Structure formats: structure tokens, C-alpha cells
């Protein structure tokens, strides 16, 4: 039985649910819900690629598409502007040099597109290259700043540079296999006073408690760690963030919450 990464022990951990052959555990001390046996990265990637047919179609059409060709482009941009407006409110509308911005798990690149509109300097990380191709067809100037790799394989480019003013990871932290190591790397590339904005499913929400094994956030090939505000606060404190505050979600989905971490 794998240790709880918050409590560093399995002493208070028991089986929670079994989903598609994978066991979720729950730490009764801190409330973390997590996958017991994390599969190798190449097996987990299949959950993001969408399977053979979807992946093939993306690879076939993505080289010829622009960002606005996506069916839900308008809705995606509205959501992205909401998140960037929220971020701008937190940083106080700084002026001068362009804000250095990274979106981890940038998906189709809507947040990067809106940050470009605002005069920021966007960087992105997205595992599935076909998802980002239309963004890069639209903004080819960012080809050297958007990476189709895991964040762990990208951060070395920026390590110990205090480079970023803002980093977002929207619906991403639950996907991290080694959460402490990755949050530590995020902390390392953030400027002093810089902020990280996370959105993640809330393992302590009413929906999680009521639906239990039917809760929509239980996806063991994708969601490896499911937090509540209290255990995430404990974790980010140990990583070294000096301030952390919690906000309502940008969208409810699976009972999400937003955490803002400041270096």
C-alpha cells in the first residue's frame, strides 16, 4: 500500500474505491484520495491521446488547422479570459516589461492566446502535440516556447532562473505522479513574489462524499492524487510557498476549487 504523500505514511490509509481495475486509497488523517499503483508513463499517456482513432484524426488534420477552427473556440476563449482576468486582478496589472507566463497542461492554448492579447510572453507545456498544433499555426513566433513534453522534462530549461511571474496549472495537479517534486520545480522557476494558480477537483466537496465511487473525478489513469484545500495547503507549505489562498472554481465540474500560491 503506497504512502500518503501528505502524511508520509500509510498508517491511516485504507482502500476507498476500485475503478476499472485500479485501487484508490484514502488517507483518513488528511483526506487525500490517491491511486495505489501508478502505471508507467507510457500507459498513462494513452488516456490523454484519446485512443488510436482520435489520435490519428488529430495527427491528420492538426497541421492544417488554426486555433479558431476548433468547434468550441468561442467558449474556450471566454473561459480563458475569465482566468486571465482573475490573474490580472491578483498581480495588480503590472506595467513595464511583459509578464513572463507559463501554462502547464495548456491543452489547445486558449490561455496562451489570451495572454498574448494582453501583451504577456507566453510559454506552454502540453503532452499531446496535436492539441497545440493549431495554436502554433496561429502564433508561430512561440514555437520555441511551447513544449510537447512532460513538465519534468522542460523545467531544466528554466531551473534556478526565477523566470516566471505567473504559472497556471488548470485541472492539472491531480495528474502529477510525483506531486512534491513537480511543485518544487514549479517553485524553483518562479520569481520571488510570483504566483501559481491551480484548479483541481475537491476531494472534500459534497459531491465527492455523496457520490463516492461514482464521483466523476475518479479516473485512475488520469487523476492520480485528489486533494482538499487542507491537505493541499499542508503540501505547498512544505514545498516552500510563502502564501496560499483558496478561491471558488472557474467552473464547478467535479466540485473544483482554485488555489493561488505565492513564492
Q: Contact, 124 vs 147, CB < 8 A?
A: yes
Coil, strand or helix: which one is 213? helix
Coil, strand or helix: which one is 227? strand
Looking at residue 140, its pLDDT comes to: 97
Q: Contact, 7 vs 1, CB < 8 A?
A: no
Whole-angstrom distance, CA of residue 224 vs CA of residue 229: 16
Percent of the chain with pLDDT over 90: 78
Burial (CB count <10 Å: 0-12, 13-18, 19+), residue 230: middle
What's the pTM? Answer: 0.93
The closest of 133, 153, 152 to 143, measured between CA atoms, is 133
Looking at residue 225, its pLDDT comes to: 98
Number of H helices, E strands in the chain: 8, 11
Local confidence band at 53 (pLDDT 50, 70, 90 cut-offs): low
Instruction: Calculate mean pLDDT across residues 111-129.
Output: 95
Looking at residue 63, its pLDDT comes to: 79
Instruction: Calculate mean pLDDT across residues 104-110.
Output: 96
Domains and CATH numbers, the chain: 13-262 (3.40.50.150)
Task: Tell me the backbone φ, ψ of residue 193, rounded to 5 degrees.
Answer: 85, -5
Coil, strand or helix: which one is 93? coil
Read off the pLDDT of residues 68-81 as tens digits, 9 standing for 90 and up. Answer: 999 899 999 999 99
Poorest-pLDDT segment among 125-134, 135-144, 199-208, 222-231 = 125-134
Read off the pLDDT of residues 171-220 as tens digits, 9 standing for 90 and up. Answer: 999 999 999 999 999 999 999 999 999 999 999 999 999 999 999 999 99
Q: Which residues pair with 19 in a beta bridge?
A: 22
Read off the pLDDT of residues 232-258 as tens digits, 9 standing for 90 and up. Answer: 999 999 999 989 999 999 988 889 999
Average of per-residue pLDDT values in the chain: 92
Q: What region, left, alpha or beta, does residue 211 occupy, with left being phi > 0 and alpha being psi -120 to 50 degrees?
A: alpha
Instruction: Calculate mean pLDDT across residues 164-177.
Output: 97
Looking at residue 5, its pLDDT comes to: 98
Read off the pLDDT of residues 18-51 as tens digits, 9 standing for 90 and up. Answer: 999 999 999 999 999 999 999 988 888 777 766 6
Looking at residue 52, its pLDDT comes to: 64
Looking at residue 250, its pLDDT comes to: 95
Is 90 exceeded by the pLDDT of residue 162?
no
Whole-angstrom distance, CA of residue 228 vs CA of residue 231: 6
Amino acid at each position: 500500500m503506497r504512502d500518503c504523500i501528505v502524511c508520509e505514511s500509510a498508517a491511516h490509509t485504507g482502500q476507498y474505491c476500485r475503478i476499472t481495475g485500479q485501487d484508490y486509497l484514502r488517507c483518513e488523517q488528511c483526506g487525500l484520495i490517491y491511486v495505489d499503483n501508478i502505471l508507467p508513463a507510457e500507459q498513462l499517456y494513452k488516456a490523454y491521446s484519446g485512443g488510436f482513432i482520435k489520435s490519428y484524426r488529430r495527427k491528420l488534420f492538426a497541421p492544417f488547422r488554426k486555433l479558431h477552427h476548433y468547434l468550441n473556440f468561442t467558449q474556450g476563449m471566454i473561459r480563458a479570459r475569465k482566468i486571465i482576468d482573475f490573474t490580472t486582478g491578483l498581480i495588480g496589472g503590472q506595467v513595464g516589461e511583459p509578464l513572463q507566463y507559463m501554462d502547464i497542461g495548456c491543452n489547445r492554448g486558449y490561455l496562451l492566446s489570451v495572454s498574448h492579447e494582453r501583451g504577456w510572453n507566453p510559454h506552454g507545456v502540453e503532452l499531446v502535440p496535436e492539441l497545440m498544433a493549431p495554436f502554433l499555426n496561429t502564433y508561430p513566433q512561440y514555437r520555441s516556447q511551447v513544449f510537447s513534453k512532460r513538465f519534468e522534462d522542460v523545467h531544466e530549461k528554466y531551473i534556478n532562473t526565477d523566470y516566471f511571474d505567473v504559472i497556471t496549472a488548470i485541472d492539472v495537479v491531480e495528474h502529477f505522479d510525483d506531486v512534491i517534486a513537480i511543485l518544487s520545480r514549479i517553485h524553483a522557476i518562479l520569481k520571488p513574489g510570483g504566483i501559481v494558480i491551480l484548479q483541481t477537483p475537491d476531494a472534500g466537496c459534497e459531491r465527492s462524499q455523496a457520490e463516492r465511487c461514482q464521483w466523476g473525478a475518479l479516473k485512475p489513469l488520469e487523476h492520480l492524487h485528489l486533494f482538499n484545500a487542507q491537505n493541499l495547503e499542508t503540501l505547498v507549505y512544505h514545498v516552500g510557498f510563502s502564501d496560499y489562498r483558496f478561491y471558488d472554481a472557474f467552473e464547478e465540474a467535479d466540485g473544483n476549487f482554485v488555489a493561488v500560491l505565492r513564492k
